[in-house]
Structure 1
């Protein structure tokens, strides 16, 4: 079937879906349109997988949802083809899935799958009332070396995201109660160590401090910070809103974030302390 014939078929089916008298008939037309256009999802997923390194199957699963939304949202009054209309929906669904569910670190897939197999095996034993296997016995059962299993477990621990507000184990007097307090104790910025009661001091607390910093910016710079890091909008969306090029918008936004991190405590030379200050600045942003 030629490209022109595909476009004509899609439009005729969309017209039939729009003219359907009941919801069940519309659903059947929608499902038929999604099924015959799945190749479009695979094409976009292949490009995104090569570009980002994300698993192809996971991108396809997310892209299928985007295709469904595109078919449901298509307006017959538009002169564009369904494929042209659907690609941004498909790509957007993939990017959102990577953002929301993607791993924060790139790790070998074989180790992630090994850890999943080990967890399933241990859960099956517990459901049968059997004791969990020790590391060496579990490795023998899975057909791998114990060192590989330990490496897979270490990868799993590295992928677990810990909240900065999560309470620490002990609550002894004088000890930090959460990870954020521990970071602040190692390298607190000026707003964390300022004395309450001095009228010239910066307002206490990350939220007040951040608001004070934002008030120093002009309207456009403030919008860049709020739009990208608080509202999650893309650089392209903000570029259109502010009538700038996408490259200018991204460069300016990243420069502003660097300024904000530096303002959080005049970033020290030490790399570890720099990471601490960045974490504090990010936490301040999330507090708004």
Structure 2
């Protein structure tokens, strides 16, 4: 029986491997077969890998980011609608990035802190609880240092750094040196320039588009800026939809290479 089951599983995998991406998405939309979803995930894990690398050295381990990105990939597969006419990679990218940024908001440190400080900060929190029960009083810096076998300076450094883990409320007020009105923290913080991301993305697009010929530029603009379908573009160019599809994949591959260079 085991041999029969293995043979059946092997035939199923081979069958899925021979199917096109569109066929897999079509079949999955109908029966939600996990084997099909797994095949789709395996085929598109490179997207999660590429996007995860953009967030390395920002306070969270790459392995954690990649795991979150992989979950985002699964969400994208679940939500993808083949009938809309979009390429899956174009649909999946914002979904995955959204999951990664959400993870950073929920789990990340506000400022990049060395790993040794993060780990010591966690130990200090546990030491405080243990020592409070043992000493029946609030533990001093020297108590914690002795318990953790480290210096008092290291304990103080970790405790100060841990303040960036939990951001302070913007409603927090400070005395304004004798003035009638106290100053709120929100008044001391500058606004984020939302144009930074736009400029970065525009710069990447301009450099990537230099690698395209005039026909490819037209397809790119029509598909992703004018929201035209492949069929509409094919009719305008007097070519087949398959030709437009191949050109689109070629454009995405060129963009992917440029993205890898920028990481």
- TM-score, scaled relative to structure 1: 0.47
Q: Could you say which residue in structure 1 is the equivalent of 2:237?
A: none
Indicate conservation of the 8 Å contact 2:52/2:69, yes or no. no
Q: Could you say which residue in structure 1 is the equivalent of 2:162?
A: 156
Structure-2 separation of matches of 1:145 and 1:45:
40
Indicate conservation of the 8 Å contact 2:145/2:152, yes or no. yes
Secondary structure in 1 aligned to 2:19?
helix
Does residue 17 of the first structure (1) align with residue 22 of the second (2)? no
Deviation at 1:106, TM superposition (A): 2.1
Which stretch shows the higher mean deviation, 158-167 or 104-113?
158-167
Secondary structure in 1 aligned to 2:112?
coil
Indicate conservation of the 8 Å contact 1:14/1:29, yes or no. no
Q: Could you say which residue in structure 2 is the equivalent of 1:115?
A: 121
Deviation at 1:110, TM superposition (A): 1.5
1:215-230 paired onto structure 2 within 5 Å: 228=194
Structure-2 separation of matches of 1:59 and 1:161:
21
Q: Could you say which residue in structure 2 is the equivalent of 1:141?
A: 147
Structure-1 separation of matches of 2:148 and 2:122:
11
* CA 131–86 in structure 1, closer or farther in 2 if over 3 Å, else same: same
Task: Indicate the RMSD between aligned Cα atoms, in angstroms.
Answer: 4.9
Does residue 47 of the first structure (1) align with residue 3 of the second (2)? no
* CA 151–74 in structure 1, closer or farther in 2 if over 3 Å, else same: same
Indicate conservation of the 8 Å contact 2:120/2:158, yes or no. yes
Structure-2 separation of matches of 1:83 and 1:75:
12
Indicate conservation of the 8 Å contact 1:164/1:178, yes or no. no
Q: Could you say which residue in structure 2 is the equivalent of 1:91?
A: 97
Secondary structure in 1 aligned to 2:163?
helix
Deviation at 1:28, TM superposition (A): 4.3
Indicate conservation of the 8 Å contact 1:44/1:91, yes or no. no
Q: Unaligned stretches of 5+ in structure 1?
A: 21-25, 184-224, 240-244, 249-288
Deviation at 1:51, TM superposition (A): 7.1
Secondary structure in 1 aligned to 2:173?
coil
Q: Could you say which residue in structure 2 is the equivalent of 1:235?
A: 198
